[in-house]
Amino acid sequence: MEAIRILLADDHPIVREGYLRLLERQPALSVVAEASDGEAALAAFVAHAPDIVLMDLSMPGTGGLAAVEAILARAPHARIIVVSMHQGAIFAQKAMAAGAMGFVSKSSPPEELVSAIAKVMSGRRALSADVAQEVAQTSLGNGDIASLTRRELEILQHLVRGMSGRAIAKSLGLSAKTIQNNLSLVRTKLDATGDADLVLKAQRAGLTQSD
């Protein structure tokens, strides 16, 4: 039986080395390529056609979520597992919405990553236990944070950090009216009564000031 061929994408060399040692202890797994950002991950995917992609979310330049979308646009049946320091439900939901088949937090036991690879290879979705618990416990009223567009999510992240609408507009190079319109849409989607309620719902979904 041929080994499962893996592309490893993470911008931290020490993290990649740790994954490499873990995965190559498994006789059925083989790391065939590494990448330190989203663009390199796409190029490596094209060059090596791996069976599984392990993708970090937070990388310089083209981030992991954009890389997931770019890979799937080229190869719709690609099997991608996001491996992230974030374990909030929002990140897992956004990754799955982008087309990833699995989400494993970096704080998970090593065997959970190995198990996720096996599940995804068999065509099933996979969440590490801590992320699955977050997803199960997340309640956002009648709304769903995964329904937010990338721009809406970005604005919400700034709001959670305590920024005013005017400050968000300046940071993103948008008009204050555009920010208010987007926040109004976000409040509607998440069934929030106001900005304070919006921030509370976002925090319950795992979106924190440091994200």
pLDDT score at 139: 45
Q: What is the CATH number of the domain that holds 30?
A: 3.40.50.2300
By the 10 Å C-beta count (0-12 exposed, 13-18 middle, 19+ buried), 5 is classed as: middle
The distance in angstroms from the start CA to the end CA of the chain is: 41
Q: Are residues 152 and 188 in the same domain?
A: yes
pTM: 0.67
CA distance 203 to 157: 10
Provide the residue range defining the domain that includes 113. Answer: 4-137
Backbone angles phi, psi at 117, to 5 degrees: -60, -45
Q: Are residues 189 and 111 in the same domain?
A: no
pLDDT exceeds 80 at position 140:
no
- % of the chain with per-residue pLDDT over 70: 89
pLDDT confidence band for 34 (50 / 70 / 90): very high
Q: What is the CATH number of the domain that holds 155?
A: 1.10.10.10
| Among candidate residues 137, 153, 181, the one where a domain is terminated | 137
The pairing of beta strand 80-84 with beta strand 52-55: parallel
Q: Are residues 43 and 79 in the same domain?
A: yes
pLDDT in tens, 46-85: 999 999 999 998 887 878 889 999 999 999 999 999 998 8
Q: Are residues 26 and 126 in the same domain?
A: yes
pLDDT score at 61: 80
CA distance 104 to 129: 8
| Among candidate residues 88, 110, 137, the one where a domain is terminated | 137
pLDDT score at 46: 96
Q: Is residue 198, in this structure, part of any structural domain at all?
A: yes
From the DSSP assignment, how many helices (H) and strands (E) are in the chain? 10, 6
Residues 6+ apart with CB under 8 A from 39: 61, 62, 67
